Amino acid sequence: MAKRAQEQAEQRYRALVQSSHCLVCELDGDLQIVYASPNHKEILEYDPAVLMGQSWLNFVHPDDRKQSEYAPRRMLADGITDRKVIRFRSRLNRWRWLEEMSRCLKELGVDYGQGYYFGAPVPIDQAN
């Protein structure tokens, strides 16, 4: 019975992530991408598998990198949810504006293997 309930919860979670307009992602302590939701393909033209192991910062606009580098330290020190607007490079080299909310998983007492930070950026621009 408990195993079935867990399977159903996992199916619900997977359906929510895969149908969300948020670009659900998980980063390790070095800001390397360890998970990217399937909708990265639709919104940013990247196959999620291509993003795995790459630094999140490689895709962030140079003018927005400083705040993106500082945010994890701030989240750990203050135990807060970070919220910012950044530009993220699509596979077609277009800058997409994203409103990003992220949280340190360790701060929440959650341990999903390699994941250290959870982010859910939402596109706030029109696709070009």
pTM (predicted TM-score): 0.76
* Mean pLDDT to the nearest integer, 19-24: 74
- Choose the CATH number for 21-123 among 3.90.230.10, 2.160.20.10, 3.30.450.20, 3.30.365.10: 3.30.450.20
Cα dihedral 69, 74, 75, 80 sign: negative
Identify whether the C-beta of residue 18 lies closer than 8 Å to the C-beta of residue 37.
yes
Query: What would the pLDDT profile of 46-77 be if each residue is shown by its tens digit?
Result: 999 999 999 999 999 999 998 888 777 677 66
Q: First vs last Cα of the chain: how many Å apart?
A: 49
Between 4-8, 56-60, 85-89, 109-113, the lowest mean confidence (pLDDT) is in: 109-113
Share of the chain above pLDDT 70, in %: 77
Residue boundaries of the structural domains of the chain: 21-123
Q: Phi/psi zone of residue 121: left (φ > 0), alpha (ψ -120 to 50 degrees), beta?
A: beta
Residue 71 φ/ψ, nearest 5 degrees = -55, -45
